[in-house]
Amino acid sequence: MVVMDVVEEGRYRFRIEPGPGMRVPGVVFASRALLRDAEQSLQQVGNVATLPGIVGASYAMPDIHWGYGFPIGGVAATDIAAGGVISPGGVGFDISCGVRLLAADCDRRALHPETLRAVMDGLGRVIPRGAGPGGVWRLSGVGQLERVLRGGSRYAVEQGQGEERDLWRCEDGGAVDDADVEQVGDRARQRGLGQVGSLGSANHFLEVQEVKEVYDGAVAAAFGIAVGQVCVMIHCGSRGLGHQICSDHVRAMDRAMARYGIEVPDRQLACTPVDSPEGRDYLGAMAAAANYGRANRQLLSQATRGIFRRRAGVRLSLVYDVSHNLAKIETHPVDGGGPRRLCVHRKGATRAFPPGHPELPPDLRDAGQPVLIPGTMGTASYVLTGVPGGDAFHSTCHGAGRVMSRHQAARTVTGGELRARLEAAGIAVRPLSLRSLAEETPEAYKDVAEVVAASEGAGLCRKVARLEPLGVVKG
């Protein structure tokens, strides 16, 4: 366990001075109020700072909370040429969990109450959700699953499940190219066969929203959103397949660490050098899971488009799709020096590339990367953009951040009470169960507006728009 000394460096920046075993300091972007909810997670920030090859700092976003090994809201980059490691705990179990935003070709006035009710009823019927199997696609077998793992959204679009815009408005053009399906074990494949095109459970959702406020009209126009517009936000990941891949590769790395002379303060930080056989195997399997997650959101988008078209005569276009649980090989300057090839872990943190970044699609190059931040069922969500000079390797928050366990949340309110409260506020709710609804009560989370304000105040991103819920489909 790392002993820590926390120093306030600015209104939204706290520094954890290096203690025994820490190779870099910790840096936490938060307000004082948000930091009070993160005390236990700060220990994990210090633990991550002990990883071999880590550079810059062990970073944490304003929505930081306790996670597996890494805190959720953690960012860490390791220098590959200097023996830097990759750790599955720095990605998490729901590999490529992320957010997709679709914009409708209508505003709120066109979605009359009876039309909204018909849309929500349709979504409640066609969107698969819950912890078990059941997805939009019934895969024909392992061969087709492998095509999903290699091709992600690209494969789904090739099969008629989308349009060309869905690819160039998605991170990595819809698929990570270096997926290695041979590193996806039999158990992971079995779990993945029956779940592609499904929300899952816990905090995953599909939400119909209205753009209530735009802070930057030019950037919002480039993204394709405007005040009053109807949008759909989808939050889900790679389901049981990603969970199993994480479990399998944590075990493999735990067995291999001694061979590389690596010791970590928490076994949940199991890791090996990025360029080791174990590191390359995990990167290949993680990329395959990322492609599964992209295909998952693509299929849910198509199912949603069908309901909006049939029930409301409305078309949905993709604004953007971005992951917040992923490790990526990127090039960044370090400590004022030249660029280095780094393995950037973002766990519960969103990539936020600035205007002009070469990885952005041409129509977004001047605006910057859309950053999609979901709130809670009863509050707002935000669209942000990356900014020049963004810290933490161009990363920012990913959501509101939990402050209560699901068990604690379910003790504070019944699902029936919460449903009545939300519907009284004009939010239509289609849950799979009332218990799962209660576990996600808004009080279980930090104030997303405060999280976004801290992220912007720390210079990590900039606000573009605020969206409020009209209806929610939950597992």
pLDDT at position 4 is: 67
pLDDT in tens, 6-17: 999 999 999 999
Nearest 5°: phi and psi at 135? -145, 170
Evaluate whether residue 155 is within a structural domain.
yes
Evaluate whether residue 428 is within a structural domain.
no
pLDDT confidence bin for 39, thresholds 50/70/90: confident
Percent of the chain at pLDDT exceeding 70: 99
pLDDT in tens, 293-316: 999 999 999 999 999 999 999 999
Nearest 5°: phi and psi at 348? 65, 35
Sequence-separated (6 or more) residues with CB below 8 Å from residue 446:
34, 37, 62, 63, 400, 401, 402, 403
pLDDT in tens, 281-296: 999 999 999 999 999 9
Residues of 247-261 as b/e, b for ≥16 C-beta within 10 angstroms? ebbbebbbebbeebe
CA distance 231 to 223: 12
User: Which structural domain, as residue segments, surrounds residue 318?
Assistant: 5-403+445-474
Contact 105, 332 (CB under 8 A): no
CA contacts within 13 A on the Cβ side of 197: 21
Per-residue pLDDT, averaged over 257-279, amounts to 97
Q: What is the mean pLDDT of the chain?
A: 96
Per-residue pLDDT, averaged over 426-440, amounts to 95
Evaluate whether residue 456 is within a structural domain.
yes
Identified catalytic residue from 204, 249, 394, 398:
398
Percent of the chain at pLDDT exceeding 90: 94
Evaluate whether residue 397 is within a structural domain.
yes
pLDDT at position 69 is: 96
Is a pLDDT exceeding 80 seen at residue 2?
no
Q: Describe the crossing of helices 186-193 and 142-158 by its angle, rounded to 10 degrees.
A: 50
Evaluate whether residue 385 is within a structural domain.
yes
Evaluate whether residue 422 is within a structural domain.
no
Could you count the other beta carbons within 10 Å of the beta carbon of residue 230?
26
Evaluate whether residue 105 is within a structural domain.
yes
CATH number of the domain that residue 321 is part of: 3.90.1860.10
Radius of gyration of the chain (CA): 21
Here the tokens at position 216 are 């930057």
Longest Cα pair distance anywhere in the chain, in angstroms?
64
Name beta bridge partners: 331: 341
Residues of 353-374 as b/e, b for ≥16 C-beta within 10 angstroms? bbbebeebeeebbebbbbbbbb
Does 65 qualify as catalytic in the annotation? no
pLDDT confidence bin for 1, thresholds 50/70/90: low
Evaluate whether residue 74 is within a structural domain.
yes
Is a pLDDT exceeding 80 seen at residue 198?
yes
pLDDT in tens, 78-120: 999 999 999 999 999 999 999 999 999 999 999 999 999 999 9
Domain count, the chain: 1
CA distance 269 to 267: 5
CA distance 436 to 439: 5
Name beta bridge partners: 345: 76, 327
Q: Are strands 462-474 and 428-431 parallel, antiparallel or unpaired?
A: parallel
Model pTM greater than 0.95?
A: yes
Nearest to 418 by CA among 448, 440, 403: 440
Per-residue pLDDT, averaged over 369-398, amounts to 97
